A and B are shown apart, each in its own frame.
Chain A
Amino acid sequence: MTLMLERPDAKAPQPANLGGFKQRKPLPQGLVTIVWSLAGLALITGFVSDVGGARGFGLAWLIALSIPLLSWLVEGRRKATDRFVTLLVLTAFSVAIIPLISILATVITKGVPVLSAEFFTSSMRNVVGEGGGIQHAITGTLIITGYATLISVPIGLFAAIYLIEYSNDGPTARGLRFLTDVMTGIPSIVAGLFAYALFVLFFGEGVRMGIGGSVALSVLMIPVVIRSSEEMLKLVPHELREASWALGVSRWRTIVKVVLPTALAGIVTGVTLAIARVIGETAPLLIIAGMTDSVNTNALEGRMATLPVFTYSAMMNPGVPAEPSIDRAWGAALTLLIIVMLLNLLARTISFLFSPAKQR
């Protein structure tokens, strides 16, 4: 890596002027640094002052563009192209970062003022206009995601065990891996439609219930759990299994007592990330779990509000007056974002704490 970081020509001994080639001097590094800092200054000024982010960005880009132009005059076409591409790569990076910053800034500035004890401890039952909260949505999200986890983890884990421990990597395993990949690609709304089509069979037209949401989320979650658990089980050294078998321990006990504990941290990390992925899903829950204003703790009966669906409906159908409802939507969005980020952080912490010292 070090080799690539340094410009290869920077320290190379300058050869004598060969065969009449024009010797080019490199652009002074100090000048380049100054231009980059000016561009950075323009960028920051654009975002901080009322010049505007877009104008600041444009100005910074124009300033930075002077480097390849100068380079063309001093160093020639090849170096100029190289510097121009560096600028493009940096541009791509900043263009990718801007939406992230903007999203976080929007959600935080609009969501934080809404958060209060009342917001978390009251539902929307009989609330018109201001007040009310998201207790029903938080409860629903926890229940639906909880059941989804209860369904997905055993199926996903056992399927991964089958793939690694029993299938001998034959055609069955290849087929199963392919199907898992296909399942990963199922659009979330299709999973919701599937759950609806399934539950209509038993409960008739217009069915809405929390457990249906769990089934839909499971369709999305199972392939993620299989993939991550499989990777983790693969990492368990085969010598551990062989040592256990050599001691006369049966196959299933080897899996339960040796393989799974070794891979546990990785599996838990994978499951946490899978939960983080499905907890923000909106489309399937909109279709099968629906929306309601009151707390519903019975997943087998009636509509159940969830944080994403609450955010969606409070923003799309705010009613009159619209302001309080949209404020609550931002509060719910912020809460959801915090939950997702905490889950991600938890997953990273687990994998960091339990990873072998070498990989830290």
Chain B
Amino acid sequence: MSKTIQKPGDTIFRGLAQTAAVVILVTLAAVTIFLTARGIPGITASPDEVKHGTSFLNFVIPLIFGTLWAAALALVIATPIAVGVALFISHYAPRSFAGPIGYIIDLLAAVPSVVFGAWGMMTLAPALQAPFVWLEENLGFLPFFAGPASSTGRTMLTAALVLAIMVLPIMTALCREVFLQTPRLNEEAALALGATRWEMVRLSVFPHARSGIVSSAMLALGRALGETMAVAMVLSASGVISLNLISSTNPSTIAANIALSFNEASGLTVNALIATGLVLFVITFAVNFLARLLVTGPTKAKGVNS
């Protein structure tokens, strides 16, 4: 073992670096501990001590439903579009065109969530009002479009659309990376056998990218679950459990509910809100954990020398 020169400066610097690493650990532990400590009184509070006037379980279950429902809808809308855009950038657009397009999609990621919220509330919601009426009249037999259609357009579907737009950039970026890592030889082999471009994508790109698409969807799900402002501003919520996408009574989400009621809350209601925050933390943690497990890193090319 070779002995490197040790000076006091070295010890200090190493100490600083280690401290910084420990700070990360402490912060994460602190987030969990503080949320739990401040949340438990809210969980055990009796119904007449809190503003929402129900037991914690009855309070949080509609919120959990709303959170998962909105995020799942957003994902259903965003996934095909993200895969399409990523394919466009990686395999369809001319090279000189692909770079700028990627940059434009990244621009979407830079827009602050409050701007998405303002746009969703003032521009998208009014524009969707008429389509919602149409949906109620023509597809009203489905529970999702049972109506009565909201007169403001600020419905679950609108919120899910805004969420979908917000998670689109991260999904697109990740899918694009995975698609670009397809071994060239596999693609060229497919083309050489006479495959059309779509057959090449289906036979060589998609099998290679499947786990990448799934993990990007999971990461996007984590984002959508925790997104606050867009939902708080777009959705007119009333704390029910409903599959109806276009009516004016919608389930709220955990994050939006905290943002909307935190400043008027006091006493044990604050603790209850913090406890819902803890629930959200646990859900997003689980989703992100699963996503990270699925990310196996860049798969080694299986081709001969690609």
Tell whether A pairs with B. yes
Contact residues of A with B, CB < 8 Å? 1, 3-5, 7-9, 78-79, 81-82, 85-86, 88-93, 95-97, 99-100, 102-103, 106-107, 110, 154-159, 161-163, 165-167, 172, 176, 178-191, 193-194, 196-198, 200, 205-206, 219, 222-223, 226, 245, 248, 250-253, 255-256, 276-277, 279-283, 286-287, 290, 308, 311-312, 315-316, 326, 329-330, 333, 336-337, 340-341, 344
User: Which chain B residues lie closer than 8 Å to A279 at the CB level?
Assistant: 112
Contact of B222 among A90, A185, A197, A286 (CB under 8 A): A185
The listed residue (A86, A158, A219) touching B31 by CB distance below 8 A is A219
Partner of A190, one of B4, B35, B165: B35
- How distant is the Cα of A101 from the Cα of B201 in the complex, in angstroms? 29
Q: Which residues of B are interface residues toward A (Cβ below 8 A)?
A: 4-7, 9-10, 12-14, 16-21, 23-25, 27-28, 30-31, 34-35, 37-38, 80-85, 87-88, 91-92, 94-95, 101, 104-105, 107-108, 110-119, 121-124, 165, 168, 172, 187-188, 191-192, 194, 196-201, 222, 225-229, 232-233, 255, 258-259, 262-263, 266-267, 270, 273-274, 277, 280-281, 284-285, 287-289, 292
Q: How far is the CA of A294 from the CA of B289 in the complex (A)?
A: 43
The CB with the most chain A CB atoms within 10 A, among B4, B114, B119, B196, is that of B114
Complexed CA–CA distance, A77 and B273 (Å) = 57
Q: Do B84 and A182 touch across chains, with their CB atoms under 8 A apart?
A: no
A144 CB, min distance to chain B CBs, angstroms: 14
Q: Which residues of the other chain, B, contact A340 by a CB distance below 8 angstroms?
A: 110-112
Hey, which chain A residues are within 8 Å of B84, CB to CB?
88-89, 91-93
A106-B122, A194-B34 given; A287·B13 CB < 8 A? no
- A-side binding surface: helix, strand, loop or mixed? helix
Whether B111 and A188, one on each chain, are in contact in the complex, defined by CB atoms closer than 8 angstroms, is: no
Q: A89-B92, A183-B24, A312-B114 are in contact. List 20 more A-B contacts (CB 8 A).
A: A3-B188, A81-B198, A89-B88, A92-B84, A102-B124, A158-B17, A184-B288, A187-B225, A188-B226, A194-B35, A198-B30, A251-B13, A280-B114, A282-B113, A283-B113, A308-B229, A311-B118, A312-B233, A316-B233, A330-B118
Residue of B35, B105, B196, B201 near A96 (CB, 8 A) is: B105
Do A197 and B16 touch across chains, with their CB atoms under 8 A apart? no
Task: Tell me which residues across on chain B come within 8 A of A205, comparing CB atoms.
Answer: 266-267, 270
A100 to B16, CA, bound (A): 43
For B187, list chain A residues within 8 Å (CB): 4
When C-beta atoms are compared, the residue in chain A nearest to B168 turns out to be A96
A337 touches B112 (CB 8 A): yes
Q: Name, among B87, B228, B267, the residue most crowded by chain A CB atoms within 10 Å (CB to CB).
A: B228
Expressed in whole angstroms, the Cα–Cα distance for A191 and B104 within the complex equals 29
How close is B272's CB to chain A, nearest CB, in angstroms?
A: 12
Residues of B within 8 A of A163 (CB): 21
CA distance A103 to B161 in the complex (A): 13
6 pairs, CB–CB < 8 Å, chain A vs chain B: A102-B119, A155-B24, A186-B284, A187-B281, A280-B113, A326-B122
CB A67 to nearest CB in B, in angstroms, measures 14
Is the CB–CB distance between A96 and B118 below 8 Å?
Answer: no
